[in-house]
Amino acid sequence: MTKSNVTTTQGAEFALRMSNISKSFGPVRALSDVSLTVRKGTVHALVGENGAGKSTLMKVLSGVHLPDEGTIEVGGERGNFTTPADAIDAGISMIYQELDLAEHLTVTENVFLGMELTTAFGLDIKGMVDETASLMQRFNFDIDPNATVEELSTGDCQIVEIVKSLMRKARIIVMDEPTSSLSEAEAGRFFEIVRDLRKRGYSIVYISHRLEEIVDLADDITVLRDGRAVHSETSAKLDIPMIVHHMVGRELEDFFPERKVKVGEVCFSAENLSADNGVSGVSFDIAAGEIVGMAGLVGVGRTEVARAIFGVDKKTGGAVRLDGKELSIKHPSDAISEGIAFLTEDRKRSGLCLNLPCSWNITLPNLVEIGMKHKISPAKEDRIAARLGEQMSVKWSSPQAPVNSLSGGNQQKVLIARWLLAKSQVMIFDEPTRGIDVGAKAEIYNLLNELAAKGKAILFISSELPELFGVADRILVMRRGRLVGDLKTSETTPDAVMHLAAVEETSNTSKES
C-alpha cells in the first residue's frame, strides 16, 4: 500500500472492512449505510437482485467511485482509494463478468500488461514468460504462457485473469459472475481453484446469481436489497429459500406462476430434423398455449436445435411445420417472416445491439411490418417501444436509453418486446434467465405464462431443472444431438431427466475404463 492512501488500524482480524458506505448519483441513492466485513482466507458471497447495489459497492472498493460517506480498511490499513490504481496498490483485484483481456496478445503479455519488465535493451520477454510460467506452476495451472488468449477456452481465460491478480500481489480478489459463461466441467474446475486460493490465505468476494454455488462455496454471505445490506451471516446458517427471502422479501415457492393455460391444438412441429451442427433426427411438436422445456447437458445439441429451426445453421434433413404447412427456412429472416422468434442464450453477443437505443432494438427486425421499409420515423419507434415497454414493465429512463444501461432482466424484456411486435406465433427461449437475479427470473416466468395464455407455442431451453419443472408442461431431453426423451412434467422427476441426459456418457465411460 502506498503511504499517501492508507493509515494503519491496530488489531485487525479481517481482510476487508467497508463501514457505513453511502453513494448517490444525483437524486438517486445507490448505496445507503452499507457495511461489509470479509474475514481473512474466506470466500464472502455478495448477493442481491440487479440494481441492489452490488456493482456500485464494488466500484467504490476498486476506486472507480468515491463514496459520499464511509470508510474502507484493508488488512488493518485504512484506504483512501481515489483511483483504481490506489485499490490495486492496496492488494485489491477485480475480475469482471466481461473478462478484460486482449485476445490478440499472449497470456504473458496480458498478465504483465501495464507493468512490463524491461532491461537496458527493451522489454524483458524471457523474464516475463519465466515469471508467468513459475506462477502457473506454483498454482498448478496448465496454460502455455506463450499462447494467445484467443486460443484459450473461457475457463482458461478466467484462470489468466486470476494469474493477473496474483502477479499484482492481490490479497483480496473480487469475482463478478465468474461461472456465467462456463460449462459444468469448467465451473467445477473453477470452484477447486477458488477453494485452493482460500486455503492459501487469499480472500474472495464472490458475486453470483447462482445461489446453489453460493451456498456450496461461500463461508459468509451478505445480502443487498435496494442499496442496503439487509442480512449478513455465515453460509452454514442460510439456505437458498432464506437467501431469496432476504433478497426480494418473498418466498421461493412464489416464483413459479400457477399453470392454468388451456393447451390447444398442435401448431408447430419438427420432423426428423437434422443439421450440419450435429443435430440428428429430432422430432417433437408444440401446441398453442404450451410451454415445452428442453433439457440436457452442456453441448448436447439444445441450442443447435434452435439454430437449425431458426435458419442460423443449415438444415440437412427433415421438416419444420407451422399449422401443418412445411416451412422453407434458409435464413433467420425467413423464420421471422413465418412467425418464429428466437431469443439467443447470449443476448449481449447475438441478441442485442448494446450501444443502440432500446427503441431501435425493439423495431430493428420489424421495420417493414411497421411501415418503415424506406423511411424511419424515430418518433413512431419511440411510441411503439413505449407501449411495449409499459406492457412488459421494462424499467428504463426512456425508450431512447441505450440497452446496455438496463439490467439483465430488463434487457431480456426488450428482446421479448421485439418478438411481440413481430407477432411471433412460435417463441424459442434459449437460457432466458441466465445471468439475471431471482426477482427478474420470476418476472420472466410470469411473462412466459402470459405468452402461453395468448396461444403462443413456446420452446424453453434451460440448464436449470428446477425452472423447467416450475414452468414447462413437457420436458424434451437431448443427448449427443438426438432427442432421447419426451416427458410430461407432472409425471416425471429431475432424477429421471438427468438419467436420460447422462446415462449414455456414464455407460461409455465405464466401458472404457
Report which of residues 376 and 144 the model is more confident about: 144
Q: Specify whether the CB–CB gap between 155 and 186 falls below 8 A.
A: yes
Show the CA angle centred on residue 488, arms to residues 273 and 280, nearest 5°. 15
pLDDT for residue 386: 92
The number of helices, as runs of H, and strands, as runs of E, in the chain is 16, 23
Please, which residues have CB within 8 angstroms of residue 74's CB and are 6 or more apart in sequence?
A: 1, 6, 15, 16, 90, 91, 92, 172
Report which of residues 397 and 1 the model is more confident about: 397
| Arch. (CATH architecture) of 265-339+424-513 | 3-Layer(aba) Sandwich (3.40)
Please, which residues bridge with residue 118 across strands?
123
Q: Is the pLDDT of residue 260 over 80?
A: no
Highest mean pLDDT among 36-40, 431-435, 466-470: 36-40
pLDDT for residue 1: 39
Q: Specify whether the CB–CB gap between 215 and 42 falls below 8 A.
A: no
DSSP-derived secondary structure for 391-444: HHT---S-TTSBGGGS-HHHHHHHHHHHHHHTT-SEEEEESTTTT--HHHHHHH
DSSP helix/strand/coil, 44: strand
pLDDT for residue 252: 55
Beta-strand pair 482-488/474-479: antiparallel
Rounded CA-CA distance 414/440 in Å is: 13
The predicted-structure confidence for 195-221, as pLDDT tens digits, reads as follows 999 999 999 999 988 888 899 999 999
pLDDT for residue 185: 79
- For CA atoms 172, 176, 181, 183, the dihedral sign is positive
Q: How does 38-48 read in b/e, with b if 16+ C-beta sit within 10 Å?
A: bbbbbbbbbbb
What share of the chain has pLDDT > 90, as a percent? 52
Please, which residues have CB within 8 angstroms of residue 242's CB and are 6 or more apart in sequence?
A: none
What share of the chain has pLDDT > 70, as a percent? 94
First CA to last CA across the chain, in angstroms?
53
Rounded CA-CA distance 246/225 in Å is: 8
Residue with cell 459444468: 184
Report which of residues 440 and 450 the model is more confident about: 450
Whole-number average pLDDT of the chain:
87
The predicted model gives 477-482 an average pLDDT of 91
pLDDT for residue 508: 41
Highest mean pLDDT among 8-12, 178-182, 207-211, 322-326: 322-326
Rounded CA-CA distance 148/199 in Å is: 30
**DSSP H helices in 26-124:** 54-61, 84-89, 107-111
CA atoms within 13 A on the CB side of 44: 25
pLDDT for residue 283: 97
CA of residue 99 relative to chain centroid, distance: 13
pLDDT for residue 206: 95
pLDDT for residue 509: 35
The predicted-structure confidence for 419-430, as pLDDT tens digits, reads as follows 888 888 999 999
Q: Specify whether the CB–CB gap between 152 and 117 falls below 8 A.
A: no
The predicted-structure confidence for 282-339, as pLDDT tens digits, reads as follows 999 999 999 999 998 767 889 999 999 999 999 999 999 999 999 999 999 999 999 9
- pLDDT-derived band of residue 480, with 50, 70 and 90 as boundaries? confident
pLDDT for residue 211: 85
User: Residue 249's CB: how many other CB atoms inside 10 A?
Assistant: 11
Q: Is the pLDDT of residue 5 over 70?
A: no
Q: Which three cell numbers stand for residue 487?
A: 416427458
Beta-strand pair 28-39/14-25: antiparallel
User: Residue 312's CB: how many other CB atoms inside 10 A?
Assistant: 19
Rounded CA-CA distance 380/77 in Å is: 57
pLDDT for residue 512: 37
Record the pTM. Answer: 0.62
Torsion of CA 304, 305, 310, 312, to 10 degrees: 20
| Arch. (CATH architecture) of 6-250 | 3-Layer(aba) Sandwich (3.40)
Map out the domains of the chain as residue ranges.
6-250, 265-339+424-513, 350-423
Q: Specify whether the CB–CB gap between 279 and 309 falls below 8 A.
A: no
The predicted model gives 162-184 an average pLDDT of 87
Report which of residues 326 and 240 the model is more confident about: 326
DSSP helix/strand/coil, 200: coil
Rounded CA-CA distance 205/245 in Å is: 21
Lowest mean pLDDT of 15-29, 177-191, 310-324, 348-362, name the range: 177-191
The predicted model gives 181-197 an average pLDDT of 86
DSSP-derived secondary structure for 230-285: EEEEEGGG--HHHHHHHHHSS-GGGSSPP--PPP-SEEEEEEEEEETTS--SEEEE
Residue whose C-alpha is closest to residue 39's, from 274, 207, 202, 275: 202
Whole-angstrom CA distances from 276 to 171, 279, 283, 343, 450 are 48, 7, 16, 21, 35
Q: Is the pLDDT of residue 511 over 60?
A: no
The predicted-structure confidence for 483-498, as pLDDT tens digits, reads as follows 999 999 999 988 888 8
pLDDT for residue 4: 39
DSSP helix/strand/coil, 83: coil
pLDDT for residue 253: 59
Q: Write phi, then psi, for 167 (nearest 5 degrees).
A: -65, -25
Q: Is the pLDDT of residue 439 over 80?
A: no
Q: Is the pLDDT of residue 187 over 90?
A: no
Residue with cell 424434451: 476
**DSSP H helices in 62-183:** 84-89, 107-111, 125-138, 154-167
